[in-house]
Amino acid sequence: MTGDSTVRIGLLGCGNVGAALVQLVADNGDAVAARTGLRLEVTRVAVGDVTRPRPVDLAPGVLTGDASGVVCDPDIDLVVEVMGGIEPARTLILTALEAGKPVVTANKELLATHGAELFDAAVKSGVDLLFEAAVCGAIPLMRPLRESLAGDRINRVIGIVNGTTNFILTRMTEGGESFAEGLAEAQALGYAERDPTADVEGFDAAAKAAIIASVAFGIDVRVGDVHREGITGITTDDIAMAARLGYVVKLLALADSVAGPGGDQVSVRVHPAMVPVAHPLAAVREAYNAVFVQGEAAGELMFYGRGAGGRPTASAVLGDVVDAAANLRQGTSAGVAGLAAARLRPMDELASQYYLSLDVADRPGVLEQVAAAFARHEVSIVQVLQTGMGGEARLVLVTHIARERAMQATLADLRGLESVDRVGSLLRVVGPE
């Protein structure tokens, strides 16, 4: 780092987030210098296509197609990676860390796959690898989990971490729109990609859940460890019935520490759930994110804000850049060290209440057959609602707390009944805690 306290930044990627970061550094550079004594300067920007127009002005000579050259440039003090994907981002970050350069990244996919390797490399080199923007955009969540709550025991983290799905479910809840209509509106407003699979099938949320669990519990959780379900099967009838029962449907990321044989286990999952209207997460609307943290000493904490977008995400990146630059000047670092092997609780051991909808023949004895299927697997029903549909009826059942394996066995049994025409949505019910 230069003696004049100028921190020279090499930026990998200049899409929405990268361009917004360049603009924020230009707009807020004087304020950052006044508060910290550090002058931030984006001196090199690596992109895949140097001929493509950029939404921000860059000085001549700043833009390059050589990402490796940026990372290896001896005049670069700090590297910011917002290019996304696994490779070459992983190799570039490792190269920077091994050269003693702190790295700030917003790459959730990479961290959810190779996080432990990258964190260890940062600790070995004694420099920062910061990643606030990888989860929930501008919401300050990683730093509190990593630092402020480091001395507490986290029992549960539960949150809405994908703005696209929350927007769609809000439209379905408040406007009576179908999933397809809500998705089309999200795409028109720029909340959803042309191919929305990563969002609506839960892949994006699962990557974030893996990172959250790793940091909250100090274990190596990877995206493949996360049970994942999306929202494509949610219907307007499910939304309406949830409201009738006092719930709101949300796509949740959940990470729980639970006692298990031989020690604590961690359950990490992403799926739609019925949230009680009195729960703070039920009121999170549109494309906003919110994460609810339960610590033994801290109690209940909630973090809320915009979870996506160029400027909000760039704001989180800039905050990490300032921290990393300050640590570099002081010769210190604040890393995620020594993630333990994860002891994961199998999904079939989950204990939850369940909501289930069934289309059945509307004739005497059918309800008795359905109840018998539940009884065979020791799943107790707490509530049954029935609506007529001509020759068919729709049954909505809510269970007492049951094991996932028992509920799945019940579903298989129900599918084999001649009187059951369709097994509809299965939603887990989040308790009021």
pLDDT for residue 387 is more than 90: no
pLDDT in tens, 104-125: 999 999 999 999 999 999 999 9
In this prediction, residue 4 carries a pLDDT of: 66
Whether 390 has a pLDDT exceeding 70, the answer reads no
| 3-state SS record for the chain | CCCCCEEEEEEECCCHHHHHHHHHHHHHHHHHHHHHCCEEEEEEEECCCCCCCCCCCCCCCCEECCHHHHHHCCCCCEEEECCCCCCCHHHHHHHHHHCCCCEEECCHHHHHHHHHHHHHHHHHHCCCEECHHHCCCCCCCHHHHHHHCCCCCEEEEEEECCHHHHHHHHHHHHHCCCHHHHHHHHHHCCCCCCCCHHHHCCHHHHHHHHHHHHHHHCEECCHHHCEECCCCCCCHHHHHHHHHHCEEEEEEEEEEEEEECCEEEEEEEEEEEEEECCCHHHHCCCCEEEEEEEECCCEEEEEEEECCCHHHHHHHHHHHHHHHHHHHHHCCCCCCCCCEECCECCHHHCEEEEEEEEEEECCCCHHHHHHHHHHHCCCCEEEEEEEEECCEEEEEEEECCEEHHHHHHHHHHHHCCCCEEEEEEEEEECCCC
Q: Give the pLDDT confidence of 160-169 residue by residue, as tens digits.
A: 999 999 999 9
Q: How many CB atoms lie within 10 A of CB 324?
A: 26
**Using one digit for the tens of pLDDT, what is the confidence trace for 347-363?**
999 999 999 999 999 88
Give the pLDDT mean for 172-199: 95
Task: Specify whether 208 is catalytic.
Answer: yes
Which residue ranges make up each domain of the chain? 6-137+310-339, 148-306, 348-429
Task: Enter the CATH code of domain 348-429.
Answer: 3.30.70.260
Q: pTM for the full model?
A: 0.94
pLDDT band at 337 (very low <50, low <70, confident <90, very high): confident
Binned at pLDDT 50, 70 and 90, residue 433 comes out as very low
Q: In the structure, what pLDDT confidence band is assigned to residue 143 with cuts at 50, 70 and 90?
A: very high
Catalytic residue among 101, 108, 208, 250: 208
Average pLDDT, the chain: 94
Provide the pLDDT confidence category of residue 251 given band limits of 50, 70 and 90. Answer: very high
Q: What percent of the chain has pLDDT over 90?
A: 89
Confidence of residue 276 (pLDDT cuts 50, 70, 90): very high
Superfamily (CATH) of domain 6-137+310-339: NAD(P)-binding Rossmann-like Domain (3.40.50.720)
Q: 389 pLDDT exceeds 90?
A: no
pLDDT band at 432 (very low <50, low <70, confident <90, very high): low
Q: Which CATH superfamily is domain 148-306 in?
A: Dihydrodipicolinate Reductase; domain 2 (3.30.360.10)
148-159 mean pLDDT:
94
Question: How confident is residue 308, by pLDDT bands cut at 50, 70 and 90?
Answer: confident
